[in-house]
Structure 1
Amino acid sequence: MRLIDCLKEAASALRQNKLRSGLTAIGVIIGVAGIIAIGAAEEGGNKKIEEQMTAMGAGALIVTRNKVGSEGPRGPVVVLADEDEKAIREQVPGIEFITRELDGNVTIVAGNASWTPEYWGVDAAYADVFDVRLAEGRFFDEAEVRSGAKVIVLGATVAKKLFSGESPIDKTVRMGGVPMRIIGVRTTLGFVGGQDYDNHVFVPITTARSRLAHDAAANPHQLSLIDMKIAPWADRDVAKEAVLALLRERKHSRAGEQEKFDVFDPTQYVELMNATHGTLGWLLGVTALILVAVGGVGIMNIMLVSVAERTHEIGLRIALGARKRDILAQFLIEAVLLCAVAGAVGFALGVACSYAVAQAAGWPLILSGRTVAMALLVSAAVGILFGFLPARRAANLDPIDALRRE
């Protein structure tokens, strides 16, 4: 029997039992949709994590203060200061860009609206360290940092809260009572680790010290962080260890003493998040495969019922000269066709679910060739594996016994 004839016979048999065929295919539809949705969520989620961590500093090393030391004769001991940034810049090889950072909170007023975000007082090199991308305007330059210019770059959340979608460029806000001119708005980053990375503003570090930091008079050279970008040719681990060694030497750290600082490498966080996301994806993928397998068992059962119902027809075909392989092909193609249709419906459902999830989560919709191929192979494999036993039983029927049955 030709393949086209087998396909026509299979389609006709499925159409005669539409409701039964549809109910049987539900397990495969859900399983294939699950594979597509899980694969797309994994790819899109990983892409979003990488984008967010790049903005957070995936290519950077960040020196953080673990704590401030005890009170000294002139107030609290400063753990990180301008001199530390200068020493790192001059003595650690492989530093491409480096910036000081002084953080705090401040209330910003624009007309009748007000909002209290974090301010990040930084050098102009911050834009190079973290590859800052702007939706509007520009970042401040070194001349503005040196002069302590009263300029500000808004995060997306701050711009929305203060201006409700209106362009804020060149408008003036009052920041802690100080008039500041808006020169830029950063692109949306979203939430990272539960923190809104758009709820901040950038100002020159000199402006932050002279206008915003309340303890700047007591500690005029203090820093919250030191951020640096490692050159492409340099070894990150070697640079990290060099920074740690230099700071231990400068702070006279003793063995066994609690560190007053740390060097955070965001790439480690990216790897951890990707690993966690990948593990969750595999667990959900196994669940989807189990659903497909359950659907396959249902297909096998319904095909066995179909063989039992069509025993007389099978006996008549054999008596008229049909070979065993013709009967085997007929029922096997019927099972594969049912799974193929279910797979197509599941694919469409999976894409729709993936799109909805991507829109809700704010990550890109990515359907890799691996995910699509896996879904198609699984649906085809289910049809072949679970359709083979009923097809073989039909092919092995004794024609005389088959013809006796009604």
Structure 2
Amino acid sequence: MRSVELVRFAAGAIVAHPLRSVLTSLGVVIGVAAVVMMTSIGLGAQQRVTAAISSLGSNLIIVQPGAARSGGGGGLVFQGAGSSVSLRDGDVDAIARQVEGVVAVAPLVRSQAQVAAGAANWNTRIEGATPDYVVARDLQIAAGRMFDAREARQGRKVAVIGQTVATNLFGAGDPVGQRIRVRAIPFEVIGVLASKGQSSFGQDQDDVIVAPLPAVRSRLVGRRLRGDTVMTIYVKAASDDILDRVQEDVTKVVRQQHKIRPGEDDDFQTQNMASILEASQAAVATFTILLAAVAAVSLVVGGVGIMNIMLVAVTERTREIGLRMAVGARRSDILAQFALEAVALSLVGGLIGLVIGVAGALAMARLGAWPAAIPAWAGPLALGFSMLVGLAFGAYPSWRAARLDPIEALRRE
């Protein structure tokens, strides 16, 4: 039997029962659509996490106090990052002097305060820093300027504000040159930061005021910190190739500054943005694979549906199979015909599912405000897997049809 005739017979059998064919392919449609959508959502989430973590700063190492031991009565409690105060100005100077390959070292203290400008007021995050802070965090000045080293050293009451603060305090007006009151202490706005958006932790990075470190530490943080204490140290490496080496050197220098003996635990923590990004991407990738695997279960269900309907078709068309064998059709022709029908049903379902999956992924990305990430391999993989499902689950019905005895088949009514 020629290939053209096989295709014609298979297509005719499918078209003869349109509703049954549609319902048979429905499982594959749902399975392929679910796999494409789940994969797209996972990859979109991965891109969003990558962008959010990258916005914190490239080649960045964060040093925070923590992992200090405390407790009484012989008990030991390991505290988390930021739970103790152990970083000083001397640590910042030592890192800047002794660690090679460092572009910027920026100490930071932070507080939360009510800020007012005229009749408007806003509760925001106040960060005391040095001019190197904008270099370490890859910040850009959208208007005005950053305070310089002299202003920072003297603790001048000047500030650079984020876009969120500027909008809530000044609306569409120009904040540069205006006065704001931070807990009744006047500061002059000398610059506005370019928008950074949300961080990977959901924090609005534009809802911030950056002012000279001494001014914030003495006037806003006050007795909560010693005069030379810092809460965080940002260290920017020259390139990502030396990031791990710089992190090791920073750890060694701070241990020396804190006189920590070999074998003793650090009273601080260092975090590498590249390692955090890598760990986050691995976690999201695993989650994406899990989602796709769960969605792929419906493909198996669709395959079982195809096998069920093909077995019914073999039973219904037993006499037809006997007639074809009687006029010369070989068992291989019968096998190929029914296998082709199963593959066609599965492939059509895969095509429809692919279209629905892509449309659904784009719609969900728009609703969720995350990147629409549809991989190039999604289409070929979906169609190839659909064909595989058709072959796998159509194999037994096709074999059963080919093994029918022609005489017994002709007797069947």
Q: TM-score, normalized by length of structure 2?
A: 0.83
Aligned residue among 289, 305, 314 for 2:312 = 305
**Map of 1:260 onto structure 2:** 267
Are residues 1:208 and 2:216 paired? yes
Q: Cα offset for 1:194?
A: 5.0
CA contact (8 A) 2:65 2:85 kept: no
Q: Cα offset for 1:65?
A: 1.9
CA distance in 1, matches of 2:352, 2:29: 6
CA contact (8 A) 1:67 1:79 kept: no
Aligned residue among 368, 380, 383 for 1:376 = 383
Aligned residue among 337, 360, 366 for 2:373 = 366
For residues 123-142 of structure 1, the aligned pairs below 5 Å read: 123-132=130-139, 136-137=142-143, 140=146, 142=148
Q: Decide whether aligned partners of structure 1 residues 111 and 48 sit closer, same or farther in structure 2, where only a CA change above 3 A counts.
A: same
**Map of 1:92 onto structure 2:** 99
Partner SS for 1:397: coil
1:271-311 CA-partner distances (Å, limit 9, x unpaired): 32222222222222222222211210110111111111112
**Map of 1:231 onto structure 2:** 238
CA distance in 2, matches of 1:100, 1:287: 46
What amino acid is aligned across from residue 135 of structure 2 in structure 1?
D
Aligned residue among 384, 387, 408 for 1:401 = 408
Q: Cα offset for 1:179?
A: 4.3
CA distance in 1, matches of 2:163, 2:67: 27
**Map of 2:256 onto structure 1:** 249
CA distance in 2, matches of 1:388, 1:5: 20
Q: Decide whether aligned partners of structure 1 residues 13 and 69 sit closer, same or farther in structure 2, where only a CA change above 3 A counts.
A: closer
CA distance in 2, matches of 1:284, 1:211: 51
Aligned residue among 187, 192, 203 for 2:200 = 192
Q: Decide whether aligned partners of structure 1 residues 219 and 353 sit closer, same or farther in structure 2, where only a CA change above 3 A counts.
A: same
**Map of 2:158 onto structure 1:** 150
CA distance in 1, matches of 2:178, 2:129: 20
Q: Cα offset for 1:36?
A: 1.0
Partner SS for 1:105: strand
**Map of 2:61 onto structure 1:** 61
**Map of 1:388 onto structure 2:** 395
CA distance in 2, matches of 1:369, 1:298: 29
CA contact (8 A) 1:152 1:203 kept: yes
CA contact (8 A) 2:147 2:190 kept: no
CA distance in 2, matches of 1:272, 1:48: 14
CA distance in 2, matches of 1:30, 1:396: 33
Q: Cα offset for 1:336?
A: 1.2
Q: Cα offset for 1:91?
A: 0.6
Q: Cα offset for 1:8?
A: 4.1
CA contact (8 A) 1:124 1:139 kept: no
Q: TM-score, normalized by length of structure 1?
A: 0.84
CA distance in 1, matches of 2:173, 2:328: 81
What amino acid is aligned across from residue 20 of structure 1 in structure 2?
R
**Map of 1:73 onto structure 2:** none
CA contact (8 A) 1:68 1:78 kept: no
For residues 332-351 of structure 1, the aligned pairs below 5 Å read: 332-351=339-358
Q: Decide whether aligned partners of structure 1 residues 116 and 8 sit closer, same or farther in structure 2, where only a CA change above 3 A counts.
A: farther
For residues 159-174 of structure 1, the aligned pairs below 5 Å read: 161-162=168-169, 166=172, 170=176, 172=178, 174=180
Q: Cα offset for 1:371?
A: 3.4
Are residues 1:279 and 2:290 paired? no
CA distance in 2, matches of 1:14, 1:182: 74
What amino acid is aligned across from residue 35 of structure 1 in structure 2?
V
1:249-275 CA-partner distances (Å, limit 9, x unpaired): 222224565533221223332232222
Q: Decide whether aligned partners of structure 1 residues 354 and 138 sit closer, same or farther in structure 2, where only a CA change above 3 A counts.
A: farther
What amino acid is aligned across from residue 146 of structure 2 in structure 1?
F
What are the ranges of 5 or more consecutive residues in structure 2 without an aligned counterpart? 71-83
Q: Decide whether aligned partners of structure 1 residues 65 and 39 sit closer, same or farther in structure 2, where only a CA change above 3 A counts.
A: same
CA distance in 1, matches of 2:210, 2:315: 75
CA contact (8 A) 1:54 1:130 kept: no
CA distance in 1, matches of 2:134, 2:5: 66
Partner SS for 2:409: helix
Partner SS for 1:226: strand
Aligned residue among 282, 293, 302 for 2:300 = 293
CA contact (8 A) 2:58 2:138 kept: no
CA distance in 2, matches of 1:112, 1:309: 83
**Map of 1:35 onto structure 2:** 35
Q: Cα offset for 1:187?
A: 2.8
Partner SS for 1:253: coil
CA distance in 2, matches of 1:123, 1:24: 67
CA distance in 1, matches of 2:337, 2:175: 70
Partner SS for 1:214: helix
Percent of pairs identical after alignment? 34
For these two proteins, the number of residue pairs brought into alignment is 396
**Map of 2:78 onto structure 1:** none
CA contact (8 A) 1:118 1:200 kept: yes
**Map of 2:45 onto structure 1:** 45
CA distance in 2, matches of 1:399, 1:60: 76
Q: Cα offset for 1:378?
A: 1.2
Q: Cα offset for 1:191?
A: 4.9
CA distance in 2, matches of 1:154, 1:38: 36
CA contact (8 A) 2:166 2:175 kept: no
CA contact (8 A) 1:69 1:78 kept: no
CA distance in 2, matches of 1:29, 1:257: 60
Q: Which moved more, 1:324-333 or 1:221-230?
A: 324-333
